[in-house]
Every structure is written in structure tokens, then in C-alpha cells.
């Protein structure tokens, strides 16, 4: 089982940036901007920018994470 960290780097004034990092600090997945987040929400993968459960399910679906892995809030 691996643990991945979710970092919200920017969330203000209509701007958003976040990434998921592995234990080595390598970025495994990134949400580049508010439009990309909005797409994730519109398609039902996430409810909002801090929806860890939804993001974890999505990352497991696209095989960035395995079913036994865990996504945790880093900041």
C-alpha cells in the first residue's frame, strides 16, 4: 500500500492549482487551473477542489493509484 499526498497550491480568486505526489515527492497528477478543476467537477469525478475521496477514485480508475493505495491531504 502506498500513500499519496494531495497539495492544493493555489485556491483563490477563481484560480486553482493542485497536485498529487508520491512518497519521493514526484508529481503523479496535476490539476493545472480552475477550468481543469471545473471539468473534473462537471464530469462528476470531484465535488470540489478538496474532494479527496472523489479524486482518489478517479486516480484509481485511471491507474495512477492502486485500489489499496491512499490519498491524504498534505497541506
The H-or-E segment that residue 55 falls in is helix 52-61
Q: How far apart are CA 25 and CA 23, in angstroms?
A: 5
What is the pLDDT, as a whole number, of residue 33? Answer: 97
Residue 48 lies in a domain: yes
* Mean pLDDT for the chain overall: 97
Question: Does 75 fall in a domain?
Answer: no
Classify residue 62: in a domain, yes or no: yes
Boundaries of domain holding 52? 3-69
Structural domain count, the chain: 1
42 in a domain, yes or no?
Answer: yes
Beta carbons of 2 and 56 less than 8 angstroms apart? no
- What is the band of 18 on the pLDDT scale with cuts at 50, 70, 90? very high
pLDDT digits (tens, 9 = 90+) for 25-60: 999 999 999 999 999 999 999 999 999 999 999 999
Does residue 52 lie in a domain region? yes
| DSSP letters for 25-37 | S-EEEEE-SHHHH
Global pTM value: 0.93
Beta strands in the chain (DSSP E): 3-12, 15-21, 27-31, 70-73
Q: For position 39, what pLDDT does the model report?
A: 97
Q: Is residue 27 part of a domain?
A: yes
Does 13 map to a domain?
A: yes
Q: Per the domain annotation, does 7 fall within a domain? A: yes
pLDDT for the residue numbered 6: 98
Amino acid at each position: 500500500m502506498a500513500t499519496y499526498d494531495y497539495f492544493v497550491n493555489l485556491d483563490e480568486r477563481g484560480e486553482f492549482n493542485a497536485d498529487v505526489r508520491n512518497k519521493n515527492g514526484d508529481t503523479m497528477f496535476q490539476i493545472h487551473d480552475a477550468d481543469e478543476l471545473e471539468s473534473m467537477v462537471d464530469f462528476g469525478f470531484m465535488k470540489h477542489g478538496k474532494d479527496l475521496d472523489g479524486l482518489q477514485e478517479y486516480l484509481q480508475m485511471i491507474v495512477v493509484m492502486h485500489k489499496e493505495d491512499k490519498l491524504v491531504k498534505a497541506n
